[in-house]
């Protein structure tokens, strides 16, 4: 009986996996709907940088930008991504001098400008931190198709689930692609060089 049911179970499992893949693809495209529909990517925002100075969507205009959403208490994805981003920019040298890089906190309750400044200074002076009022930060992240959710760790603390990809924006502030978490350095640098050249 088990051997007879096995092909059926495999068929069902394959069907579920295909459905999940299609669903994830659809969600990804929906997340970046403004880019595909021709509407402006992201919404206007007013937040602060790691020095406490005001920063708006104008920061993403005029030069191509690399934007990563994360948080300073992140155990692995965020420090790894920031370390890699700093390395990519350094490797590019003058080829990437027109790229602006940003780290936007999805945990603004803990990530004050002071905390962001101390954290980012461990990686690069090319990356600027952005934080601010929690409601405004979450609205800004959502407008860029970024997923984030507070997750209780059960010990009175919490962590954050969030999109791990790096967003690439052209000089108009429009969506120009992503760099996936764990993508090879060669592929990432190639994407950044194209972005810089187009800028």
- Give me the pLDDT at residue 41, please: 78
**pLDDT tens-digit profile of 139-162?**
999 999 999 999 999 999 999 999
User: pLDDT tens digits for 74-128?
Assistant: 999 999 999 999 999 999 999 999 999 999 999 999 999 999 999 999 999 999 9
Neighbours of 177 (CB within 10 A): 16
Listed residue (130, 170, 190) closest to 35, CA to CA: 170
Q: Are 88 and 95 in contact (CB under 8 A)?
A: no
- Interatomic CA distance for residues 168 and 101, integer angstroms: 9
Q: Name the pTM for this structure.
A: 0.80
Token pair belonging to 74: 């992140």
Q: Count Cβ neighbours within 10 Å for each residue of 7-26 and write b for 16 or more, e otherwise.
A: eeeeeeeeeeeeeeeeeeee
């Amino acid at each position: 009986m088990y051997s007879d049911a096995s092909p059926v179970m495999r068929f069902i499992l394959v069907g579920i996996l295909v459905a999940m893949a299609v669903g994830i693809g659809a969600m990804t495209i929906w997340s970046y709907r403004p880019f595909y529909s021709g509407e402006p990517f992201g919404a206007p925002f007013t937040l602060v940088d790691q020095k406490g100075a005001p920063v708006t969507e104008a920061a993403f205009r005029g030069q191509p930008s690399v934007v990563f959403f994360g948080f300073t208490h992140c155990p692995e994805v965020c420090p790894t991504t920031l370390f890699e981003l700093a390395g990519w920019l350094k490797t590019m040298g003058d080829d990437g001098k027109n790229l602006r890089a940003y780290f936007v906190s999805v945990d603004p309750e803990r990530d004050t400008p002071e905390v962001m400044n101390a954290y980012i200074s461990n990686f690069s002076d090319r990356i600027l931190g952005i934080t601010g009022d929690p409601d405004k930060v979450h609205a800004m992240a959502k407008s860029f198709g970024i997923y984030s959710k507070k997750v209780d760790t059960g010990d009175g603390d919490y962590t954050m689930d969030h999109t791990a990809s790096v967003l690439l924006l052209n000089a108009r502030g429009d969506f120009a692609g992503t760099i996936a978490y764990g993508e090879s350095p060669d592929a990432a640098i190639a994407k950044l060089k194209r972005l810089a050249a187009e800028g």
